[in-house]
């Protein structure tokens, strides 16, 4: 495929309407994934801790299975 | 998986193909190594199972769990019923012809069960419109001695398989008499609940769960609608006492032994009236 | 946009009609199995209702919604008319015939074998043939999606396919792959048996073939909700999609990893060895990766929106988000339910741990939370988002929409949380009437009533949902043309072919299926298991 | 966004995504290592023993005939319980098992698919006609437990349950030919 400089889909009429201005976006992007990382990380850590709690306190005391 | 952001797409493409294959095969390989090799072999060692058997058991090639020795089984004496529902038995039933059965019926069965399957005495069952498989099973049990009756045992012994199926087909083809509408109304709710809902606390499933045609229950289940009241009461009593034992795994013996006398009479009246 | 409005609305209304009927049945079932409805209804009626509830929610709501949404995406994301619109209507009518053929025997009580039909129990042949028609209709939809993408790529060489369309085509490729399992089972085992061509059926093979479909069908239902997460939610929140490349990669991971893991539904089955089950557990662990990637990427996109609206500090952006917009609210509630449902899933896939919860209410809670909760609430959000452009009228106010979403969330949480506790107590599935006299079961009564409360709230929400859509057909306000799909922070200029098509990934799926399902299916041909007698329910 | 300016920025986003994917991978590896550790140290597997048996002739003779069901204790002290799951009942409907000792439960179905769990324990398996389902376990608490059929098997599915009586070692006394039965029928 010839690497020509294609217009990005942003120029597509349906896509262009977006009230986000680039300067503010660049400013925000300097810090962005921190909040998401902390929130999502806490949620996933909670899931794994919950798994270990149920595994140790409910599953093991009920005896082996095989 | 960082795609190099060089401009040519085919350059971009190569790392994806490599990385994708590495990750996918790495995961599956580790699954195989852990699941099929490491876990079974180590589990088997504590039970004295050699590595080869443990791996074959983990793959499902040999029966048994890789972590435990198999148990040895023991063979007991006579079975409760010899009837085995196999495709060729059902084929015999399918090939049965009511016309051929009619000759044998007029010769032997008509004395007690009547020509249309309406029995002459209360202790003999009505056979009109009964399920062919049910009649076939009971006649086979009489023949093999799993069920005994002073006249039925002798009669059944000199019937071979095809005529046995023809007789069953003949009575199955006889039309059911229409139920007496007057008695339909007053069946007591306790009995209706027993038929429709059963009684979970006494482990009694609903009668309709097996005895209603099209319920998907055991193949040999008889249709009870319009059966003689005394006959049903007699059979439930014999099941409860264990005198009749040709129900596979004691299905009816267990249920009958948990029914009270009033329930037995109520159920007999319910089905006598022709409910399904 | 003009040329698919009627087509999409037809599909959506069939889907939501089936949804409403099934919601009513679901609530009736919750009542009948609770102490309040102890002697109401017979087992025949209960299992008829469970079959109808399952078939409507799992086959009719999902397949029709996904087809309708697929046509909508194909037109709006690619910005060109739908190719082969006549075939789309043919597919619709074939599927409608299938629905009628399946629902009539169910309502006549001739097909009470539940939606995952358990051979040797065998229902009326019409039920199975109806399902084949529905699947055949959906196959035509898959071909149309592939053709639409190929035509667009031919006219736009080198340009990346818009993410929404890329995901829709990934979904149709996944659906073509996964329906092969149930198609083989129906055509070669179950339909011949129900027509009477054989008296026995190999139950082990039937379960293994159905498990091939049983898990990837869950991802077929789930992908439209994820399309909304990636493309509609960032736009509705007023932000940008954090990473377009990760979006494509997530949908590819769904395609590759959801197919070979179906056998984790058979962890407790006697017909497969431990080794194969451990491989399934391992692959299932990695099928959670795309979901966890999605949580991160979409939360990051929401963080962008929140900070653009002035959110400060680590979590300030959360309160700054426009929660009054239905799509944003639905995404938040969906993530909470996805968390609880995902937690249930991690326990289910725990190799030996599955023995603690298999076929208990824990599993029922798991799939009601993930499918009934986070996926269906996103179906609501999608419907609210695109209804104005389909009907030409806009919502008068978003209050009733938010109310409906909150009711669905609360109802689902109240219904399913008690089920987790009851599942650990051993409450088993598909019970027409409990024996509340039993000391172990009597303790469950109050919690079953709490779940019934949740069920009633869900019913109210379902009714409100249909009302919110119906009033739009005659609404006064003309719809303003709102853009739907979010822009990425870095709209992709050039994307490697691997992220723009499915050739490579189809090869990997084929190899994975051979590795995961090869021997487990071949063993039934090498040493066929002794036939079980067919038990007819019709 | 010009070409050069976008490069480092785009790379940073993908970097965070990969960091997240790596973190999630570590957590998944943690869960899987718990699974492998349990399997190796406590022999915990999902029950699976791929043993074929003809469902049509179960009741005739052999391991699952009526007289051979229930709890039996072999000479080497191994406790085996044989149970038939048939449409809408268990045979026997009441089982006695010792507390604290390994018990092997073997199930077979002559008709349709059933499934069993014992409340409060990890005993759980599907019973597919054509296969013998085998589960072994140690019962950690004594008392009467419920063993329902947890897979849809027909209209009587809700009434299909049995009682499992876990008795302390002292009360678990096999009779002459090694059988132990419940008091009530």
- Spans in chain D with pLDDT lower than 50: 1-5, 185
What distance in Å separates residue B14's CA from the closest CA in chain A? 14
CB C534 within 8 A of CB B49: no
Per-residue confidence (pLDDT) for residue A5, from 0 to 100: 35
For the residues of chain B, what is the DSSP string, one character each? ------S-HHHHHHHHHHHHHHHHHHHHHHHHIIIIIIHHHHHHHHTT--HHHHHHHHHTSSSS-TTSPPPPP---S--S------HHHHHHHHH--HHHHHHHIIIIIHHHH-TTS--SSTTSPP-TT--HHHHHHHHHHHHHTSS--TTHHHHHHT--HHHHHHHHHHHHHSPPPPP-HHHHTT--HHHHHHHHT-BGGGTB--THHHHSTTS---TTPPP-TT--HHHHHHHHHHHHHTS---SGGGHHHHHHTTS-HHHHHHHHHHHHTT--
What's the 3-state SS for D46-83?
CCCCCEECCHHHCCCCCCCCHHHCEEEECCCCCEEEEE
The dihedrals phi and psi of A3, each to the nearest 5 degrees, come to -75, 80
Per-residue confidence (pLDDT) for residue A16, from 0 to 100: 46
CA angle C258/C260/C264 to nearest 5° reads 90
Give me the mean pLDDT over the C92-105 stretch: 96
Range ranked top by mean pLDDT from B219-228, C304-313, C460-469: C460-469
* Token pair of C444 as six digits: 């469950």
* Token pair of B171 as six digits: 């009575």
Per-residue confidence (pLDDT) for residue D7, from 0 to 100: 66
Closest CA to C529 of C273, C270, C83, C202: C202
**Is D121's CB within 8 Å of A66's CB?**
no
At D160, which CATH number?
A: 2.60.40.420
Q: Is C495 on the interface with D (CB under 8 A)?
A: no
d(CA B30, CA B28): 5
| D32 and D118, same domain (yes or no) | no
Residues in C closer than 8 angstroms to D125, CB to CB, are: 268, 270, 355
pLDDT truncated to tens, each residue of chain B (276 aa)?
A: 444 444 555 666 777 778 878 888 888 898 899 999 999 999 988 888 889 999 999 998 888 888 888 876 554 556 778 888 888 888 888 889 888 888 888 888 888 888 888 888 888 898 988 888 899 999 989 988 888 888 888 888 888 888 889 999 999 888 876 665 555 567 788 888 898 888 888 888 999 889 988 888 888 899 888 888 899 999 999 999 988 888 888 889 889 999 999 999 989 888 887 777
Give me the mean pLDDT over the C455-481 stretch: 88
d(CA D114, CA D103): 21
The label of the residue with tokens 């990346």 reads C160
Tell me the per-residue pLDDT of C59-97, one tens digit each, with 9 for 90 and over.
999 999 999 999 999 999 888 899 999 999 999 999 999
Per-residue confidence (pLDDT) for residue D149, from 0 to 100: 95
pLDDT: which is higher, C194 or D5: C194
> Is the torsion defined by CA of B84, B85, B91, B97 positive or negative?
positive
Give me the mean pLDDT over the A5-28 stretch: 59
**Residue C394: count of CB within 10 angstroms of its CB:** 16
Query: DSSP secondary-structure letter at D106?
Result: E
Cα atoms in the 13 Å half-sphere on the side-chain side of C97: 10
| D64 and D112, same domain (yes or no) | yes
Query: Can you tell me the ipTM of this complex?
Result: 0.86
d(CA C273, CA A55): 23
For residue B172, with 0-12 CB atoms within 10 Å meaning exposed, 13-18 middle and 19 or more buried, which class applies? Answer: buried
Q: Is C424 on the interface with D (CB under 8 A)?
A: no
Number of domains chain D contains: 2
Strands D102-108 and D131-138: antiparallel
Q: Is C368 tagged catalytic?
A: yes
| D35 and D101, same domain (yes or no) | no
CB C98 within 8 A of CB C137: yes
Q: Is C366 tagged catalytic?
A: yes
Tell me the per-residue pLDDT of C379-431, one tens digit each, with 9 for 90 and over.
999 999 999 988 888 888 899 999 999 999 999 999 999 999 999 999 999 99
d(CA B74, CA A9): 74
Per-residue confidence (pLDDT) for residue A11, from 0 to 100: 36
Per-residue confidence (pLDDT) for residue B77, from 0 to 100: 53
At C273, which CATH number?
A: 1.20.210.10
Per-residue confidence (pLDDT) for residue C124, from 0 to 100: 93
| D101 and D178, same domain (yes or no) | yes
Number of domains chain C contains: 1
d(CA C245, CA C242): 9
- The domain of D3 spans 1-45
Q: Is pLDDT above 60 for A2? A: no
Q: Is C92 tagged catalytic?
A: no
Q: Is pLDDT above 70 for C43? A: yes
| D72 and D136, same domain (yes or no) | yes
- The domain of C408 spans 5-536
Residues in A closer than 8 angstroms to C352, CB to CB, are: 59, 65-66
What distance in Å separates residue C22's CA from the closest CA in chain A? 31
Residues in D closer than 8 angstroms to B85, CB to CB, are: 56
| D36 and D66, same domain (yes or no) | no
CB proximity list for D6: less than 8 A, separation 6 or greater: C490
Q: Is pLDDT above 90 for C302? A: yes
d(CA C198, CA B40): 39
| D107 and D124, same domain (yes or no) | yes
Q: Is pLDDT above 50 for C143? A: yes
Chain A residue closest to D10 (CA)?
A29
Range ranked top by mean pLDDT from C287-291, C367-371, D44-48: C367-371
Return the exposure string of C73-110: e unless at least 16 CB atoms fall within 10 Å of the residue's CB, then b: bbbbbbeeebbeeeebeebbebbbbbbebbbebbeebb
pLDDT: which is higher, C283 or B6: C283
* Token pair of D144 as six digits: 């009467």
| D20 and D109, same domain (yes or no) | no
Per-residue confidence (pLDDT) for residue B180, from 0 to 100: 59
| D78 and D140, same domain (yes or no) | yes
Residues 15-34 of A with CB under 8 A from C: 15-20, 24-25, 28-29, 31-34
Q: How confident is the model at residue C322 (pLDDT cuts 50, 70, 90)?
A: very high
| D72 and D38, same domain (yes or no) | no
Closest CA to C381 of C162, C224, C243: C224
Q: Is D146 on the interface with C (CB under 8 A)?
A: yes
Q: Taking each helix axis as running N to C, give the angle between helix B39-46 and helix B51-59, from 0 to 180 degrees, rounded to the nearest 10.
A: 130
Residues in chain A: 66
| D85 and D6, same domain (yes or no) | no
d(CA C422, CA C449): 12
CB C227 within 8 A of CB C164: yes
**Is B216's CB within 8 Å of C531's CB?**
no
**Is C353's CB within 8 Å of D6's CB?**
no
Query: Kind and range of the H or E element at D103?
Result: strand D102-108
Return the exposure string of B40-55: e unless at least 16 CB atoms fall within 10 Å of the residue's CB, then b: bbbbbeeeebeeeebb
Chain-centre distance of CA C135, in angstroms?
15
Q: Which of B10, B58, B85 sits opposite C275 (nearest CB)?
A: B58
Whole-number mean pLDDT of chain C?
Answer: 92
**Residue C49: count of CB within 10 angstroms of its CB:** 21
**Is C355's CB within 8 Å of D53's CB?**
no
Q: How far is CA C538 from CA C99, C528, D111, in A?
A: 18, 27, 17
* Token pair of D102 as six digits: 């390994």
Chain A residue closest to C485 (CA)?
A15
Per-residue confidence (pLDDT) for residue C504, from 0 to 100: 86
Chain B residue closest to D29 (CA)?
B27
Per-residue confidence (pLDDT) for residue A13, from 0 to 100: 40
| D103 and D135, same domain (yes or no) | yes
Chain B residue closest to D162 (CA)?
B203
Catalytic residue among C11, C53, C207, C215: C215
């Amino acid at each position: 495929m010839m690497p020509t400089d294609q217009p990005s889909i942003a120029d597509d009429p349906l896509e262009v309407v977006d009230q986000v201005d680039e300067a503010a976006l660049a400013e925000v992007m300097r810090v962005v994934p921190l909040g998401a990382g902390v929130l999502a990380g806490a949620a996933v850590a909670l899931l794994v801790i919950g798994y270990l709690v149920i595994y140790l306190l409910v599953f093991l005391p009920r005896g082996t299975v095989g | 998986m960082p795609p190099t952001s060089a401009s040519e797409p085919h350059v971009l493409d190569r790392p994806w193909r490599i990385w994708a294959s590495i990750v996918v095969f790495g995961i599956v390989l580790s699954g195989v190594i852990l699941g099929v090799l490491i876990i079974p072999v180590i589990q088997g060692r504590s039970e004295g199972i050699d590595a080869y058997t443990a791996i074959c058991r983990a793959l499902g090639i040999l029966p048994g769990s890789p972590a435990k020795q198999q148990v040895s089984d023991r063979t007991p004496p006579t079975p409760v019923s010899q009837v085995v529902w196999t495709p060729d038995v059902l084929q015999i039933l399918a090939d049965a012809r009511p016309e051929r059965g009619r000759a044998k019926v007029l010769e032997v069965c008509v004395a007690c069960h009547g020509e249309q399957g309406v029995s002459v005495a209360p202790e003999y069952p009505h056979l009109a419109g009964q399920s062919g498989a049910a009649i076939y099973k009971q006649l086979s049990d009489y023949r093999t001695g799993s069920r005994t009756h002073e006249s039925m045992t002798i009669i059944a012994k000199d019937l071979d398989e095809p005529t046995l199926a023809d007789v069953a087909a003949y009575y199955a083809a006889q039309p059911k008499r229409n139920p007496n509408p007057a008695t339909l109304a007053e069946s007591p709710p306790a009995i209706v609940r027993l038929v429709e809902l059963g009684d979970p606390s006494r482990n009694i499933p609903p009668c309709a769960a097996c005895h209603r045609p099209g319920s998907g229950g055991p193949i040999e289940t008889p249709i009870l609608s319009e059966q003689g009241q005394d006959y049903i009461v007699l059979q439930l009593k014999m099941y409860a006492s264990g005198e009749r034992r040709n129900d596979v795994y004691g299905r009816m013996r267990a249920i009958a032994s948990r029914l009270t006398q009033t329930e037995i009479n109520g159920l007999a009246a319910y089905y006598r009236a022709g409910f399904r | 946009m003009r040329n698919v409005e009627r087509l999409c609305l037809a599909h959506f209304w069939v889907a939501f009609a089936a949804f409403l009927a099934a919601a009513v049945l679901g609530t009736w079932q919750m009542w009948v199995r609770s102490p309040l409805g102890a002697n109401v209804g017979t087992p025949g009626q209960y299992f008829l209702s469970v079959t109808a509830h399952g078939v409507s929610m799992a086959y009719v709501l999902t397949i029709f919604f996904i087809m309708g949404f697929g046509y909508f995406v194909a037109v709006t994301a690619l910005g060109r008319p739908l190719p082969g619109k006549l075939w789309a209507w043919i597919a619709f009518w074939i599927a409608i015939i299938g629905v009628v053929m399946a629902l009539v025997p169910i309502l006549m009580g001739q097909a009470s074998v539940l939606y995952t039909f358990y051979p040797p129990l065998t229902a009326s042949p019409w039920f199975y043939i109806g399902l084949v028609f529905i699947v055949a209709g959906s196959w035509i939809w898959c071909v149309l999606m592939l053709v639409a993408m190929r035509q667009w790529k031919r006219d736009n060489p080198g340009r990346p396919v818009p993410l929404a369309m890329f995901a829709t085509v990934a979904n149709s490729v996944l659906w073509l792959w996964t329906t092969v399992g149930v198609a083989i089972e129906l055509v070669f085992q179950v339909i011949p048996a129900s027509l009477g061509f054989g008296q026995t059926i190999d139950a082990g093979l039937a379960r293994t073939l159905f498990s091939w479909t049983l898990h990837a069908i869950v991802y077929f239902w789930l992908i439209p909700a994820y399309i909304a997460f990636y493309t509609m939610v960032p736009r509705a929140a007023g932000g940008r999609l954090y990473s377009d490349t990760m979006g494509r990669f997530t949908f590819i991971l769904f395609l590759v990893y959801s197919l070979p893991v179906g056998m984790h539904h058979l962890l407790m089955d006697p017909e497969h060895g431990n080794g194969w089950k451990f491989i399934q557990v391992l692959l299932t662990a990695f099928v959670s990766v795309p979901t966890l990637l999605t949580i991160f990427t979409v939360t990051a996109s929401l963080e962008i929106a929140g900070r653009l609206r002035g959110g400060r500090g680590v979590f300030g952006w959360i309160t700054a988000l426009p929660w009054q917009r239905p799509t944003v609210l639905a995404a938040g509630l969906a993530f909470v339910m996805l968390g609880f449902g995902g937690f249930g899933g991690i326990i289910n896939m725990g190799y030996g741990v599955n023995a603690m919860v298999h076929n208990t209410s824990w599993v029922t809670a798991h799939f009601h939370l993930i499918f009934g909760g986070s996926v269906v609430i996103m179906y609501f959000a999608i419907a609210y988002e695109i209804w104005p452009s389909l009907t030409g009228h806009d919502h008068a106010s978003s209050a009733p929409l938010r109310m409906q979403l909150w009711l669905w969330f609360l109802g689902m949480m109240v219904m399913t949380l008690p089920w987790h506790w009851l599942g650990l107590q051993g409450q088993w599935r598909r019970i027409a009437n409990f024996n509340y006299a039993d000391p172990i079961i009597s303790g469950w009564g109050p919690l079953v009533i709490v779940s019934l409360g949740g069920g009633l709230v869900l019913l109210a929400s379902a009714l409100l949902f249909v009302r919110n859509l119906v009033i739009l057909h005659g609404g006064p306000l003309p719809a303003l043309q709102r853009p739907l799909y979010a822009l990425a922070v870095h709209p992709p200029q050039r994307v490697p072919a691997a992220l723009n098509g499915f050739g490579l990934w189809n090869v990997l799926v084929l190899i994975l299926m051979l590795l995961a399902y090869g021997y487990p299916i071949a063993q039934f041909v090498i040493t066929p298991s002794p036939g079980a007698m067919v038990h007819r329910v019709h | 966004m010009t070409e050069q300016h976008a490069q480092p920025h785009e790379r940073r986003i993908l970097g965070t995504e990969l960091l997240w994917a790596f973190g999630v991978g570590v957590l998944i590896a943690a869960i899987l290592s718990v699974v492998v550790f349990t399997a190796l140290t406590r022999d915990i597997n999902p029950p699976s023993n791929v043993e074929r048996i003809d469902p049509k002739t179960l009741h005739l003779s052999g391991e699952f005939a009526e007289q051979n069901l229930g709890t039996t204790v072999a000479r080497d002290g191994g406790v085996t319980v044989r149970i038939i799951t048939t449409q809408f009942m268990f045979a026997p409907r009441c089982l006695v098992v010792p507390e604290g000792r390994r018990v092997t439960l073997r199930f077979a179905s002559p008709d349709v698919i059933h499934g069993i769990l014992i409340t409060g324990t990890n005993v759980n398996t599907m019973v597919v006609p054509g296969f013998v389902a085998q589960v072994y376990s140690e019962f950690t608490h004594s008392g009467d437990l419920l063993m329902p059929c947890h897979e849809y098997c027909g209209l009587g599915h809700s009434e299909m349950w049995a009682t499992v009586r876990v008795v302390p070692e002292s009360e678990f006394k096999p009779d002459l030919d090694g059988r132990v039965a419940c008091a009530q029928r």
